[in-house]
Chain A
Amino acid sequence: MNLTAKNKWILIIFSAVAGFINGFLGGGGGVVIVTLMLAVLKLHQKYSQATALLVILPLTFVSALVYLVKGNVDWIPTLWATLGVVAGGIVGALLLSKLNGTVAKILFALVLIAGGIKLFF
Protein backbone atom coordinates (compact mmCIF):
# COMPACT_ATOMS: atom_id res chain seq x y z
CA MET A 1 0.00 0.00 0.00
CA ASN A 2 1.29 3.47 -0.92
CA LEU A 3 0.99 6.21 1.65
CA THR A 4 0.50 9.91 0.94
CA ALA A 5 3.07 12.28 2.47
CA LYS A 6 0.38 13.56 4.84
CA ASN A 7 -0.40 10.06 6.10
CA LYS A 8 3.31 9.34 6.58
CA TRP A 9 3.59 12.41 8.84
CA ILE A 10 0.47 11.38 10.73
CA LEU A 11 2.05 7.97 11.37
CA ILE A 12 5.38 9.48 12.48
CA ILE A 13 3.88 12.15 14.76
CA PHE A 14 1.30 9.92 16.44
CA SER A 15 3.68 7.02 16.97
CA ALA A 16 6.04 9.52 18.63
CA VAL A 17 3.10 10.51 20.88
CA ALA A 18 2.39 6.83 21.60
CA GLY A 19 6.06 6.27 22.48
CA PHE A 20 6.10 9.26 24.81
CA ILE A 21 2.91 8.16 26.60
CA ASN A 22 4.25 4.63 26.97
CA GLY A 23 7.53 5.84 28.47
CA PHE A 24 6.02 8.60 30.61
CA LEU A 25 3.08 6.59 32.01
CA GLY A 26 4.61 3.12 31.81
CA GLY A 27 1.95 1.89 29.39
CA GLY A 28 -0.98 2.93 27.26
CA GLY A 29 0.89 3.48 23.99
CA GLY A 30 -0.81 0.43 22.52
CA VAL A 31 -4.20 2.13 22.36
CA VAL A 32 -2.74 4.88 20.15
CA ILE A 33 -0.80 2.47 17.90
CA VAL A 34 -3.85 0.22 17.34
CA THR A 35 -5.94 3.28 16.45
CA LEU A 36 -3.28 4.45 13.94
CA MET A 37 -3.24 1.05 12.28
CA LEU A 38 -7.03 0.94 12.03
CA ALA A 39 -7.42 4.52 10.80
CA VAL A 40 -4.34 5.20 8.63
CA LEU A 41 -3.04 1.80 7.53
CA LYS A 42 -6.63 0.51 7.23
CA LEU A 43 -5.78 -2.84 8.81
CA HIS A 44 -8.55 -4.98 10.33
CA GLN A 45 -8.90 -5.11 14.14
CA LYS A 46 -7.25 -8.56 14.42
CA TYR A 47 -4.21 -7.55 12.36
CA SER A 48 -3.94 -4.16 14.07
CA GLN A 49 -3.86 -5.66 17.55
CA ALA A 50 -1.31 -8.30 16.57
CA THR A 51 0.99 -5.92 14.67
CA ALA A 52 0.77 -3.23 17.38
CA LEU A 53 2.51 -5.68 19.72
CA LEU A 54 5.51 -5.73 17.39
CA VAL A 55 5.78 -1.93 17.80
CA ILE A 56 5.10 -1.91 21.54
CA LEU A 57 7.56 -4.67 22.47
CA PRO A 58 10.78 -2.73 21.61
CA LEU A 59 9.49 0.55 23.00
CA THR A 60 8.39 -1.07 26.26
CA PHE A 61 11.82 -2.70 26.45
CA VAL A 62 13.73 0.60 26.09
CA SER A 63 11.40 2.44 28.52
CA ALA A 64 11.88 -0.36 31.07
CA LEU A 65 15.64 -0.06 30.59
CA VAL A 66 15.51 3.69 31.37
CA TYR A 67 13.41 3.01 34.52
CA LEU A 68 16.00 0.38 35.52
CA VAL A 69 19.03 2.63 34.93
CA LYS A 70 17.35 5.50 36.83
CA GLY A 71 16.72 3.21 39.81
CA ASN A 72 12.92 3.16 39.53
CA VAL A 73 12.59 -0.65 39.51
CA ASP A 74 11.79 -2.69 42.64
CA TRP A 75 12.36 -6.31 41.63
CA ILE A 76 10.45 -8.20 44.37
CA PRO A 77 6.94 -6.80 43.72
CA THR A 78 7.75 -6.78 39.99
CA LEU A 79 8.46 -10.52 39.90
CA TRP A 80 5.32 -11.47 41.87
CA ALA A 81 3.07 -9.28 39.74
CA THR A 82 4.70 -10.62 36.54
CA LEU A 83 3.97 -14.17 37.68
CA GLY A 84 0.29 -13.22 38.03
CA VAL A 85 0.20 -11.40 34.69
CA VAL A 86 1.63 -14.39 32.79
CA ALA A 87 -0.83 -16.83 34.43
CA GLY A 88 -3.73 -14.44 33.78
CA GLY A 89 -2.57 -13.89 30.21
CA ILE A 90 -2.89 -17.58 29.44
CA VAL A 91 -6.41 -17.70 30.93
CA GLY A 92 -7.39 -14.54 29.03
CA ALA A 93 -6.17 -15.93 25.71
CA LEU A 94 -8.22 -19.09 26.27
CA LEU A 95 -11.32 -17.06 27.25
CA LEU A 96 -11.08 -14.75 24.24
CA SER A 97 -13.10 -16.91 21.88
CA LYS A 98 -15.91 -17.38 24.40
CA LEU A 99 -16.78 -13.74 25.09
CA ASN A 100 -19.19 -11.53 23.17
CA GLY A 101 -17.08 -8.73 21.63
CA THR A 102 -19.38 -5.77 22.30
CA VAL A 103 -20.16 -6.74 25.89
CA ALA A 104 -16.43 -7.22 26.58
CA LYS A 105 -15.59 -3.83 25.04
CA ILE A 106 -18.24 -1.93 27.02
CA LEU A 107 -17.20 -3.66 30.27
CA PHE A 108 -13.57 -2.83 29.54
CA ALA A 109 -14.36 0.84 28.86
CA LEU A 110 -16.25 1.05 32.18
CA VAL A 111 -13.29 -0.56 33.99
CA LEU A 112 -10.97 2.07 32.48
CA ILE A 113 -13.18 4.96 33.58
CA ALA A 114 -13.47 3.47 37.10
CA GLY A 115 -9.68 3.06 37.20
CA GLY A 116 -9.17 6.65 36.08
CA ILE A 117 -11.51 7.99 38.75
CA LYS A 118 -9.83 5.80 41.40
CA LEU A 119 -6.42 7.30 40.54
CA PHE A 120 -7.69 10.84 41.20
CA PHE A 121 -8.14 9.97 44.91
Chain B
Amino acid sequence: MHIFLLILFGFLAGIVGGMGMGGGTVLVPLLSFLDISQKTIQSINLISFLPMCCVALIFHAKNKLIVKTHIWLLIVPALIFAVVGALVADVASNKVLRYCFAVFLTVVGAWQLVVAIKFAVLRKKKNKQEQHIDEER
Protein backbone atom coordinates (compact mmCIF):
# COMPACT_ATOMS: atom_id res chain seq x y z
CA MET B 1 0.00 0.00 0.00
CA HIS B 2 1.01 3.64 -0.34
CA ILE B 3 3.39 3.59 2.63
CA PHE B 4 4.85 7.03 1.86
CA LEU B 5 1.43 8.70 1.70
CA LEU B 6 0.28 6.98 4.90
CA ILE B 7 3.30 8.34 6.78
CA LEU B 8 2.97 11.79 5.15
CA PHE B 9 -0.76 12.13 5.92
CA GLY B 10 -0.16 10.86 9.46
CA PHE B 11 2.63 13.42 9.84
CA LEU B 12 0.46 16.34 8.66
CA ALA B 13 -2.43 15.34 10.93
CA GLY B 14 0.05 14.79 13.78
CA ILE B 15 1.28 18.39 13.50
CA VAL B 16 -2.28 19.66 13.89
CA GLY B 17 -2.92 17.21 16.75
CA GLY B 18 0.30 18.19 18.49
CA MET B 19 -0.89 21.79 18.46
CA GLY B 20 -3.97 20.57 20.34
CA MET B 21 -6.49 21.19 17.58
CA GLY B 22 -7.88 17.73 16.85
CA GLY B 23 -5.58 15.98 14.41
CA GLY B 24 -8.10 13.20 13.83
CA THR B 25 -10.47 15.54 12.06
CA VAL B 26 -7.67 16.17 9.53
CA LEU B 27 -6.44 12.56 9.24
CA VAL B 28 -9.82 11.09 8.20
CA PRO B 29 -10.38 13.28 5.09
CA LEU B 30 -6.70 12.93 4.11
CA LEU B 31 -6.84 9.12 4.28
CA SER B 32 -10.02 9.17 2.19
CA PHE B 33 -7.78 10.07 -0.81
CA LEU B 34 -6.29 6.56 -0.53
CA ASP B 35 -8.10 3.37 -1.38
CA ILE B 36 -9.04 2.45 2.21
CA SER B 37 -12.56 1.72 3.51
CA GLN B 38 -14.13 4.29 5.84
CA LYS B 39 -14.23 1.80 8.75
CA THR B 40 -10.51 1.06 8.41
CA ILE B 41 -9.81 4.82 8.22
CA GLN B 42 -11.74 5.33 11.44
CA SER B 43 -9.89 2.52 13.21
CA ILE B 44 -6.55 4.00 12.03
CA ASN B 45 -7.66 7.33 13.47
CA LEU B 46 -8.57 5.79 16.84
CA ILE B 47 -5.42 3.69 17.22
CA SER B 48 -2.93 6.32 15.99
CA PHE B 49 -4.36 8.75 18.52
CA LEU B 50 -3.53 6.55 21.54
CA PRO B 51 0.30 6.94 21.76
CA MET B 52 0.05 10.71 21.08
CA CYS B 53 -2.56 11.12 23.76
CA CYS B 54 -0.50 9.26 26.39
CA VAL B 55 2.59 11.42 25.76
CA ALA B 56 0.55 14.63 25.79
CA LEU B 57 -1.15 13.66 29.06
CA ILE B 58 2.21 13.08 30.78
CA PHE B 59 3.33 16.58 29.75
CA HIS B 60 0.04 18.18 30.82
CA ALA B 61 0.10 16.38 34.19
CA LYS B 62 3.64 17.64 34.80
CA ASN B 63 2.50 21.18 33.99
CA LYS B 64 -0.49 20.73 36.35
CA LEU B 65 -3.05 21.45 33.60
CA ILE B 66 -5.37 18.54 34.44
CA VAL B 67 -8.48 19.41 36.48
CA LYS B 68 -10.07 16.29 37.94
CA THR B 69 -13.21 17.72 39.59
CA HIS B 70 -16.42 16.19 38.14
CA ILE B 71 -14.34 14.19 35.65
CA TRP B 72 -16.29 10.95 36.31
CA LEU B 73 -19.54 12.64 35.26
CA LEU B 74 -17.91 12.97 31.84
CA ILE B 75 -15.91 9.74 31.63
CA VAL B 76 -18.63 7.21 32.59
CA PRO B 77 -21.38 8.22 30.11
CA ALA B 78 -18.78 8.87 27.39
CA LEU B 79 -17.27 5.41 27.87
CA ILE B 80 -20.63 3.59 27.70
CA PHE B 81 -21.74 5.45 24.58
CA ALA B 82 -18.34 5.09 22.91
CA VAL B 83 -18.92 1.33 22.95
CA VAL B 84 -22.48 1.80 21.64
CA GLY B 85 -21.21 4.12 18.88
CA ALA B 86 -18.50 1.67 17.83
CA LEU B 87 -21.05 -1.18 17.70
CA VAL B 88 -23.42 0.92 15.56
CA ALA B 89 -20.48 1.82 13.26
CA ASP B 90 -19.81 -1.90 12.76
CA VAL B 91 -23.29 -2.49 11.29
CA ALA B 92 -23.42 0.81 9.35
CA SER B 93 -22.24 0.90 5.72
CA ASN B 94 -19.00 2.67 4.79
CA LYS B 95 -20.97 5.14 2.68
CA VAL B 96 -23.25 6.16 5.55
CA LEU B 97 -20.25 6.58 7.88
CA ARG B 98 -18.44 8.74 5.34
CA TYR B 99 -21.46 11.02 4.85
CA CYS B 100 -21.98 11.33 8.61
CA PHE B 101 -18.33 12.27 9.05
CA ALA B 102 -18.66 14.82 6.23
CA VAL B 103 -21.66 16.46 7.90
CA PHE B 104 -19.92 16.45 11.30
CA LEU B 105 -16.73 18.07 9.91
CA THR B 106 -18.57 20.74 7.94
CA VAL B 107 -20.72 21.72 10.94
CA VAL B 108 -17.79 21.77 13.40
CA GLY B 109 -15.63 23.68 10.89
CA ALA B 110 -18.28 26.34 10.28
CA TRP B 111 -18.90 26.69 14.01
CA GLN B 112 -15.17 26.98 14.82
CA LEU B 113 -14.80 29.63 12.11
CA VAL B 114 -17.58 31.73 13.68
CA VAL B 115 -16.03 31.35 17.17
CA ALA B 116 -12.52 32.27 15.92
CA ILE B 117 -13.76 35.38 14.08
CA LYS B 118 -15.90 36.49 17.03
CA PHE B 119 -12.90 36.09 19.32
CA ALA B 120 -10.65 38.11 16.99
CA VAL B 121 -13.19 40.95 16.73
CA LEU B 122 -13.64 41.01 20.51
CA ARG B 123 -9.91 41.24 21.07
CA LYS B 124 -9.54 44.07 18.56
CA LYS B 125 -12.27 46.05 20.34
CA LYS B 126 -10.60 45.44 23.70
CA ASN B 127 -7.23 46.61 22.36
CA LYS B 128 -8.83 49.80 21.00
CA GLN B 129 -10.48 50.52 24.35
CA GLU B 130 -7.18 50.06 26.15
CA GLN B 131 -5.52 52.43 23.66
CA HIS B 132 -8.16 55.08 24.40
CA ILE B 133 -7.58 54.74 28.11
CA ASP B 134 -3.83 55.09 27.56
CA GLU B 135 -4.37 58.21 25.40
CA GLU B 136 -6.61 59.81 28.03
CA ARG B 137 -3.88 59.34 30.58
**Interface, chain A (partner B; CB < 8 A):** 1, 3, 8, 11-13, 15-31, 33, 36-37, 41, 43, 46-47, 49-51, 53-64, 66-68, 70, 72-74, 76-78, 80-96, 99, 102, 104-106, 108-120
Given A63-B82, A85-B48: A27 in contact with B15 (beta carbons within 8 A): no
The A interface, classified by DSSP as helix, strand, loop or mixed, is helix
Which size bracket describes the interface of B in this complex?
35 or more
Identify the closest chain A residue to B6 (Cβ). Answer: A80
Tell me which residues across on chain B come within 8 A of A43, comparing CB atoms: 67
Point out residues on B near A: beta carbons under 8 Å. 1, 3, 6-32, 34, 36, 39-57, 59-60, 63, 65-71, 73-75, 77-90, 92, 97-110, 112-113, 115-117, 119-120, 123
Which B residues are CB-close (under 8 A) to A86?
14, 48, 51-52, 55
Chain B residues lying within 8 Å of A17, measured Cβ to Cβ, are: 81
Residues from chain B with Cβ under 8 Å of A88 in the complex: 10-18, 23
The answer on a CB contact under 8 Å between B97 and A82 is no
Give the residues in chain B near A76, CB-CB below 8 Å: 1
Q: A16-B80, A20-B81 are in contact. Are A26 and B65 (CB under 8 A)?
A: no
Residue of B nearest to A25 (CB): B101
Chain B residues closer than 8 Å to A41, beta-carbon distance: 67, 69-70
With A and B bound together, what is the CA distance between A19 and B51 in angstroms?
Answer: 19
Tell me if A99 and B19 are in contact (CB < 8 A): yes
Least CB separation from A66: chain B residue: B86
User: How distant is B58 from chain A, measured CB to nearest CB, in Å?
Assistant: 10
Given contacts A24-B89, A93-B19, contact A115 B13 (CB under 8 A): no
- Known A-B contacts A50-B66, A113-B109; the reply to A70 vs B90 at CB < 8 A is yes
